[in-house]
Structure 1
């Protein structure tokens, strides 16, 4: 009735034909999300979100998550895969749990649209509504707690508004478009509250662009790309062992990634990535040195970069130095202080300046370098050896080398995350083959990430498969998300590294480090989710069971791997980080041990 009244007033003011052309807000919101490549909205249903769910039905896939935080993490993964992710929750009690994935999206520059249902404009009065963040002793009404919380993270956050003038349609759809376009173009999350009484209200008609690219016509591009390219060409012509060092800001720009691949292939230039850019370029390629992070890197990576390279072209690392990426401020990241280096960073929208530089480089007179990397030597693995963190990456690299499919690795924060830096990822046509939450949102994101990946792979009929690597602590934190793998018939392989403790950073025997018990039967648990579980104690068992899981490419496959927590069974990355943490915490003898390890 409210919508009919508004349309009648609009007809009287602006004409019947225009009034009849006005769409409903909910329909336009679905069209806008679809325009930017978002086909799935992850979320949890709720009272204030119900109208939005109804409006999206038949237009978008509205898929449930086990909780709002997991919905946010799945949307973060979807943003990395398709260019835009979206969540839908109810007012405050639903939206506030999304603050952790929102922080991740801010830090990782992910275009995620966090949508929250909100009380209708007709409901706002002097009575506090349920879901409001206020106690019975409050003197002030608070309806903006969620908006303020997301703004505190540095995000654009806005509540859409209805008509403010009789006979003039509201501009809610236009505001929704501007916010989503901002997220897409600037690779930043946004938070939007939708009053529930606006969803089925007529709104201003929009003439949407034909493609997302039509939104991104830059009116300003930095000048001087030709001069930068000429300087780089001069440096390359004076070099015999150059290196392209790729930073994390490249990861969502498919066009720039393609240019970088063309650049290294045309001139035969080796490349490495920062830790947070791992998987952006194919690590199985002969030109790949791997991912570099000072003393935390494998010896062969350190040797080539620190001893052989004579010129570095550093592309789009972070604007401000980050401790995760610069060897945790340990002073061992040689690239940071490398003298003969050119740094180019994407400081304008969509890295247009960098695109212009590499367009020039690709047609420049640069020699084809003859330097060949040493052939990668994989250690000979004995099938009878036990599997632990120190040889997990070698075992997985061996299996990956035998497969035509790509393993899409999703390591959980903890030992699994750091051990994954020695993995050699293989390019996938569907998504980055190494997707993770590097610290920002803490533990609990690998299964929601894997769900978004598995849905994408399934819809593409791909033979690639999501492989979650998780400790028992990280698994317990999020295993309720498995119900949706079961419900949607998604394929995933879970490598469950079992030691019953939180081991990363562990420097004592406090019960605080204990996260499980030997009595827990994970194989029975996964069976309840319709999956199959097997225990792998040896390299041979891991190889056999993993290859079988990849070939079947269906359902949940969990491989329980008992791991030894002793220091000699940890990966290099974990051992070094634990020692570094102990040194920074002033543990006795740690400083001397650290200095010895750094000296090599």
Structure 2
């Protein structure tokens, strides 16, 4: 077979059911394989960056590998931002780019991005875990396997460049599927866990709180997390990137800690009454720690469980550093911890949880969710969307002021139904991310929460969803402004504030122009019926929600910590 056929068929055999791409001459040899390989569906995006975001969403929701393709040079370099987002959010994505023939390299050929030309291979090494050229048919099986294994095991994007003459070359090779045991090994440091278990059994270490991050979802460990905290009545908070690892209406759930955090999670973890904080599957980044707030450190011990030792102790040292698969570690603790000793602390943990909850509602400024203001209060709009959307619905959140509103007021009711480009935070990625998620989870309805500024960047991917018949609901939080920037610019005067204006956009008209449908919503009481119509539509449906930009986002504790950090400098 040809190398192009081998690459696509190997991806199909690995379980990749969709490949996201933009077309171009340097990838022409792939087109017969893309359209003729059973089980593989090509999705042509409006923009290479959109294709990479789609691959990211597909990998997150499907638990496997996401694949995107573009030509070398301009095509693959358009993927730099989404690949960087995948890098920071730890998503396994494989980017494939076509390259000029080897005989052209360094000769001034059109779109020569080989190592002797623009060298996009080196450019992508900064934002991927691996970027290599498949410079000969002989090395194709090795480099393909290495790139896919690297992406899946290290949870990073990787990149392979394939010259056009190599694409058309003959190859005789067989693909051997990369197994689950290699991708997510059940590794566990039993000695470190035994030390932690002994500490948890100490009588003065009974007020325990768990802070769970996305590593729990990566390890498919939500069931183990639930079983552990329920067995011993341990309150659990999540980071924003781990939002919904446990249902947010669960009796032990505190909500999100850090940016977009809830009152309960922030009050509980910063309380002096916490004896032991168990961090599972989080790198404790700036936003995961409420601007590196030392008040979150427990009074006696911190445990940090993660499969990557480089993420443990990056922010603060911990008394119990446990290198382990989070799911395996939680299951081990459930089986081997001194249950009688932990049971003796139930009353203390229940009293602590009751005290935290007694200080006020979980949501900050919960009264805003009932506002009748027009233009709509964002908190009311989010609350109405949540009430109208099914419990198993998946939410993909874009970057902007709306991220904070949805973090605070959208309660996740089933684990694994909240996705966001959390760490890099590029604007506009949620629509293509949502397309990838929906293709991996076609049985679940999907809502994309985005803003009008984000729509200007990647709104054209609505055309991709319409052409492919992908049913996503797009809620545009339309404040005619770059909202997050407006808050700062407004304080600078009318000139800077004008820079944030977004005027003259008819988002429903735009949606219809690319083959989607939609409607404008100006009253909060209209949202439920609009969502019902959107969910009954076969393709993409846009809700243009007219909101008021002047309401500050519900991140008061975050803003306070930023002021304290700046003052301490």
Fold conserved (TM > 0.5)? yes
1:226–1:441 CA distance, 2 compared to 1 (3 A): closer
Q: Secondary structure at the match of 1:362?
A: helix
Question: Which whole-Å deviations, capped at 9, do the CAs of 1:386-434 have from their partners, x for residues lacking one?
Answer: 432243443344445xx4x4232222211011212113443558xx321
Q: TM-score, normalised by structure 2?
A: 0.84
Q: 1:455 to 1:289 in 2, by over 3 A?
A: same
Q: Which residue of 1 aligns with 2:145?
A: 177
8 Å Cα contact 1:100-1:441 kept in structure 2:
no
What is the aligned partner in structure 1 of residue 332 from structure 2? 360
TM alignment of 1:388-427, pairs within 5 A: 388-400=377-389, 403=390, 405-427=391-413
Residue 220 of structure 1 and its aligned partner are, at CA, apart by: 8.1
How much does 1:385 deviate? 4.3
Structure possessing the higher radius of gyration over alpha carbons? 1
1:153 aligns with 127
- Counterpart Cα distance in 1 of 2:449 and 2:193: 44
C-alpha distance in 2, partners of 1:222/1:97? 41
8 Å Cα contact 1:534-1:558 kept in structure 2: yes
User: Aligned residue for 1:446?
Assistant: 430
Q: Is the 8 A contact 1:117 1:193 kept in 2?
A: yes
RMSD: 3.2
Distance 1:470 1:341, change over 3 A: same
**Preserved contact between residue 51 and residue 196 of structure 1 (Cα < 8 Å):** yes
In the superposition, relative to structure 1, how do residues 312 and 130 fare at CA in structure 2: closer, same or farther (>3 Å)? same
Q: Alpha carbons of 1:446 and 1:66: their partners in 2 closer, same or farther (altered >3 Å)? A: same
In structure 2, how many angstroms separate the alpha carbons of the residues matched to 1:252 and 1:217? 9
Q: Is the counterpart of residue 302 in structure 1 residue 274 in structure 2? A: no
- Picking from 245, 248, 255, the partner of 1:280 is 245
Residue in structure 2 matched with residue 55 of structure 1 by the alignment: 33
The answer to whether 1:27 aligns with 2:17 is no
Unpaired segments ≥5 residues, structure 1: 1-22, 135-140, 164-169, 586-590, 595-600
- Go from structure 1 to structure 2 and tell me whether the alpha carbon gap of 1:398 and 1:56 turns closer, same or farther (over 3 Å shift): closer
In structure 1, the partner of 2:543 is 559
Aligned residue for 1:420, secondary structure, equals helix
Contact 2:399/2:425 (8 A) holds in 1:
no
Are the aligned partners of 1:454 and 1:466 in contact in 2 as well (CA < 8 Å)? yes
Q: Aligned in 2, Cα 1:280/1:300: closer, same or farther, shift over 3 Å?
A: closer
SS of structure 2 residue aligned to 1:263: helix
Cα shift at 1:120: 2.2
Change (3 A) 1:340 1:217: closer
Structure 2 gap segments, 5+ residues each = 311-321
Pick from 83, 90, 93: which aligns with 2:71? 90
Equivalent pairs counted in the alignment come to: 530
Q: So what's the TM-score if we normalise by structure 1?
A: 0.79
Structure 1 residue 229: deviation in Å? Answer: 4.4
- Counterpart in 2 of 1:195? 163
| Correspondent of 1:162 among 106, 128, 136 | 136
Partner of 2:302: 341
**CA offset at residue 326 of structure 1?**
2.1
